Amino acid sequence: MDQATKRIAAHFTGQTRFVDDIDKPSNTLYGYIVKSDVAYGRVESVNYEKALKSPGVCAILSHKDIPGKNSMGAVFDDEPVLAEDYVEFIGQAVLLIAATSRQAAADAAKKVEIVLTELEPVLDVEESFRKKNFPFDPLFIESGDVESGFEGSHFVIEGELAIGGQEHFYLETNAAMSIPKADGTIVVYSSTQNPSENQLIISHALDLESSRIEVITDVIGGGFGGKETQSNWCAVWSALLATHCKRAVVMVLDRREDMLITGKRHPVKVNYKVGFNSNGKINSYSSRFLFDVGFSADLSRSIIERALLHLDNSYYIPALKSELYPCKTNRSSNTAFRGFGAPQSIAVIEYIMDEISRKTGIDGAEVRRKNLYGERVRNRAPYGQLIKDNILGDLYRSIMESSDYSARVKEIKRFNRNSQWKKRAIAVVPVKFGISFTTTFLNQGAALVNLYKDGSVALHQGGVEMGQGLYDKMIEVASREFGIKKESVRICSTNTMVIPNTSATAASTGSDINGHAIKLAIECLKARLNVFAATLYGIDLIDIVWENSTIYSRKKPSETHPLSHLIQNAYLARISLSEQAFYKTPGIHFNRESSRGEPFYYYACGIAASEVEVDFLTGSHTVLRADILHDVGESIDPLIDKGQIEGAFVQCMGWTTVEELVYNNKGLLLTAGPDSYKIPGVADIPKDFRVSLYKDNPFKDGILRSRAVGEPPFILGLSVWLAIKQAISKFNPGEFRLDLPATKEKILKCAYGYEE
């Protein structure tokens, strides 16, 4: 079994060691947070004398005990490590406790007396918007003349839509273990997508130089964006307690805590207006988005920016205008989640596509086809980037054929005529997802490649394995570049002492950025060894081939030399067998003031056709069949890529149909556990699920000619939501508004015309 197969087997047999599974030093303490139980309040007094005397308690820390800066905000300084004078959401940390067991800490926490004056929380984005509670400036985009676009349109429709949030529900909750060392340095094992940021935030809070903080991340139990910034919390809390107590401290949130205090996908309220002709073509689209950012800014600025850059999805919109407002509320701070703002804005334009189909009577897929970006004209995005190598038209034609669309539409019509309580519908949704961090400087990666005397290889790189298959892809890159088997390549855990200043493993760029860095390092190593091999074996430099763990000259393929022989001799000749390399994505830029530029290195595109059956007696639905065609360039590993596509699609189905966050009027999240918060299960996946990789479209500048896959196919799950919308129209041809998620209750309300 190669390393990747072993890793997957370990995952499925529960043997992967997440942070809480690491063997702990015998004197390890357990960290715990004392949380606010009000959404907004002034802290009058905090008394923890009694709690300190509670059995097993070693330390209790307040904001006064933080040696450095009381701030753990990733981008803005608006997130205290521990609350000072105010608490701003239910679950905000006020004190830290270290005790000999988690239970002892929890018992002590009950003895803490916090006196708060409750203030009126803001829980509604509309109210926040009216009060202009914006943690940073709103975002705007305008291209073309929107007003004259409306005037010249046959139809103008206006509408509202409410889009819900989504809990990440990673398998492993947030966790970190900090171990202080005698020399004043500290080692932190962290379940994070962003070890370098954990390091930086700890350095600020402890007032220690970054070089003294070693953050190590091995395979984590999922992130989905939720561990980009908010993994900083357990990291910094455990580090504070560990340095204070001079003992190892492990801090693991339980599921309920994690769901209560960490942010989710941003809920949004949207107003839109769209002008189009009777042929279904859009002339003009204007919108106002109110994002519920929660109590702090976190990554919301970049998330809203990505929403802005995906207002168009795959469509050419001649005139477009949008205002996107970050609305502060007294809730946990909403954060990165697969798609990073794009799912919300794409949901709106796809909803509009369905509305256009309803108004004009043109089939939904046909409306979409008519509006797709063109190949030579109608091919510039509202922010100015040219849409190159556009395959949208071909994807459309292919899915129409492979899904047998026309025949099934007829069959569905026949079914619906004969069925009173069950209706079926099929919806097609394309995706065009921009690949690159829009924050241009983040598009950098590095790697260190070590060759050992026996010819085996160890890789160090900046990305985090969270189940997306990054490690396997990196091993594949090294194995192909060196011409050796995958079994001979080892990948090491991510470590801030080995690869410094990494970007988060995010924006689907992990394998692109780190893979390119590994490739550059290997090219450099090979170039050095080629010079040596040329003299050692008397062959021409330019003819050297690395294959099957051997070296040979293209001119004499029969005369092979074992790689181990070359490497041993290179070592004896005192040639370095180790190389570090750095990669930055070329040619991208984005101007935030004007919302113009070329923010993306390329686009990843795909398309899906989903058929649903909705039962109007119960409100339940079944996805009868889903066809997906997605472009990953030349796949580095087709099984991994298909897994990513299936997972992303089903995760979006969850967001758009069953996952509902319910709060009480005090701002308490009532659905803070798997008992009340439902994610899709095996029974919910499409009955007939056909995932194909788009063929023959290698991306020549991609790593091994591949394209990123992590986030883009998430968008395709919207086809299920829109198929449900259509099915409701078959039952109720009148007006209704299908917010997201389309839960059973909402489906029935829309079907029978009840007001919300």
**What is the set of active-site residues?**
711
Which residues are 289's β-sheet partners? Answer: 270, 324
Q: Do the Cβ atoms of 41 and 119 come closer than 8 Å?
A: yes
Return the number of other C-beta atoms located less than 10 Å from residue 524's C-beta.
14
Q: Do the Cβ atoms of 249 and 30 come closer than 8 Å?
A: yes
H or E segment at 621?
A: strand 621-630
* Selection from 656, 629, 634, 657 nearest residue 645 by Cα: 629
Q: Do the Cβ atoms of 237 and 253 come closer than 8 Å?
A: no
Name which of 507 and 703 has its Cβ closer to ligand MOS: 507
Q: Do the Cβ atoms of 160 and 126 come closer than 8 Å?
A: no
**Which residue in the shown chain puts its C-beta closest to ligand MTE?**
510
Q: How many residues does the chain have?
A: 756
Angle in degrees, CA 326, 442, 212, rounded to 5: 105
Q: Is 298 in the site for ligand QUE (CB under 6 A)?
A: no
H or E segment at 693?
A: strand 688-693
Give me Rg for the CA atoms of the chain. 27
Side chain identity at residue 641, one-letter code:
D
- Choice from 185, 439, 456, 692 touching ligand QUE (CB under 6 A): 439
Q: List b or e across 324-347, with b for residues whose CB sees 16 or more CB atoms inside 10 angstroms.
A: bbbbbbbbbbbbbbbbbbbbbbbb
By a kind-dependent CB cut-off of 5 to 8 A, residue 75 interacts, out of ligand MTE, ligand QUE, ligand MOS, none, with ligand QUE
Q: Is 464 in the site for ligand QUE (CB under 6 A)?
A: no
Name which of 663 and 689 has its Cβ closer to ligand MTE: 689
> Per CB under 6 A, which region of 50-58, 503-511, 714-722, 724-732 contacts ligand QUE?
503-511
By a kind-dependent CB cut-off of 5 to 8 A, residue 511 interacts, out of ligand QUE, ligand MOS, ligand MTE, none, with ligand MTE
Min CB(304)–ligand QUE separation in Å: 10
Name which of 337 and 616 has its Cβ closer to ligand QUE: 337
Q: Do the Cβ atoms of 655 and 711 come closer than 8 Å?
A: no
Q: Is 75 in the site for ligand QUE (CB under 6 A)?
A: yes
By a kind-dependent CB cut-off of 5 to 8 A, residue 222 interacts, out of ligand MOS, ligand MTE, ligand QUE, none, with ligand MTE
**Which residue in the shown chain puts its C-beta closest to ligand MOS?**
225
Give the pair of three-digit tokens for residue 170: 């990673």
Q: Is 644 in the site for ligand MTE (CB under 6 A)?
A: yes
Q: Is 40 in the site for ligand MTE (CB under 6 A)?
A: no
Specify whether the backbone of 169 is left (phi greater than 0), alpha (psi in -120 to 50) or beta.
left
Min CB(469)–ligand MTE separation in Å: 8
- Choice from 135, 267, 467, 633 touching ligand MTE (CB under 6 A): 467
Min CB(347)–ligand QUE separation in Å: 18
Give the pair of three-digit tokens for residue 426: 């099929």
Q: Is 438 in the site for ligand MTE (CB under 6 A)?
A: no
**How far is residue 307 CA from its own chain's centroid?**
13
DSSP string, 48-117: -HHHHTSTTEEEEE-GGG-SS-S---SSSS---SS--SEE-STT-EEEEEEESSHHHHHHHHTT-EEEEE
Name which of 308 and 365 has its Cβ closer to ligand MOS: 308
Query: In sequence order, what are the residues at sequence separation of 6 or more whose Cβ sits closer than 8 angstroms to the Cβ of residue 574?
Result: none
**Which residues in 679-738 contact ligand MTE (CB under 6 A)?**
708, 710-711
By a kind-dependent CB cut-off of 5 to 8 A, residue 440 interacts, out of ligand MTE, ligand MOS, ligand QUE, none, with none
Q: Do the Cβ atoms of 718 and 656 come closer than 8 Å?
A: yes
By a kind-dependent CB cut-off of 5 to 8 A, residue 470 interacts, out of ligand MTE, ligand MOS, ligand QUE, none, with ligand MTE
Min CB(264)–ligand MOS separation in Å: 12
> Per CB under 6 A, which region of 263-271, 350-358, 438-446, 640-648 contacts ligand QUE?
438-446
Min CB(62)–ligand MOS separation in Å: 32
Q: Do the Cβ atoms of 657 and 622 come closer than 8 Å?
A: no
Give the pair of three-digit tokens for residue 140: 């705007």
Q: Is 585 in the site for ligand MTE (CB under 6 A)?
A: no
**How far is residue 618 CA from its own chain's centroid?**
33
Strands 589-591 and 596-598: antiparallel
* Selection from 41, 48, 40, 42 nearest residue 64 by Cα: 48
**Which residues in 323-342 contact ligand QUE (CB under 6 A)?**
336, 340
Q: Is 505 in the site for ligand MTE (CB under 6 A)?
A: yes
Query: Tokens 């989640």 belong to which residue?
Result: 337
Min CB(166)–ligand MOS separation in Å: 11
- Choice from 31, 91, 195, 225 touching ligand MTE (CB under 6 A): 225
> Per CB under 6 A, which region of 16-24, 112-120, 437-445, 701-709 contacts ligand QUE?
437-445
Query: Tokens 């330019």 belong to which residue?
Result: 542
> Per CB under 6 A, which region of 138-146, 207-215, 299-307, 680-688 contacts ligand QUE?
299-307
Q: Is 297 in the site for ligand QUE (CB under 6 A)?
A: no
Q: Is 263 in the site for ligand MTE (CB under 6 A)?
A: no
Q: Is 507 in the site for ligand QUE (CB under 6 A)?
A: yes
Task: Annotate each residue in 223-262 with x if it binds ligand QUE (CB under 6 A) or - if it does not, as one string.
Answer: -----x----------------------------------
Per-residue CA distances from 75 to 7, 34, 230, 303, 384 (Å): 34, 25, 12, 12, 27
Q: Is 166 in the site for ligand MTE (CB under 6 A)?
A: no
Residues in contact with ligand MOS by the rule CB under 6 A: 193, 223, 225, 228, 336-338, 340, 506-507, 711
Query: Tokens 């040219």 belong to which residue?
Result: 386
Interface residues with ligand QUE (CB under 6 A)?
74-75, 228, 299, 302, 306, 336, 340, 437-439, 442, 504, 506-507
Interface residues with ligand MTE (CB under 6 A)?
222-225, 338, 463, 466-468, 470, 505-511, 644, 647, 708, 710-711
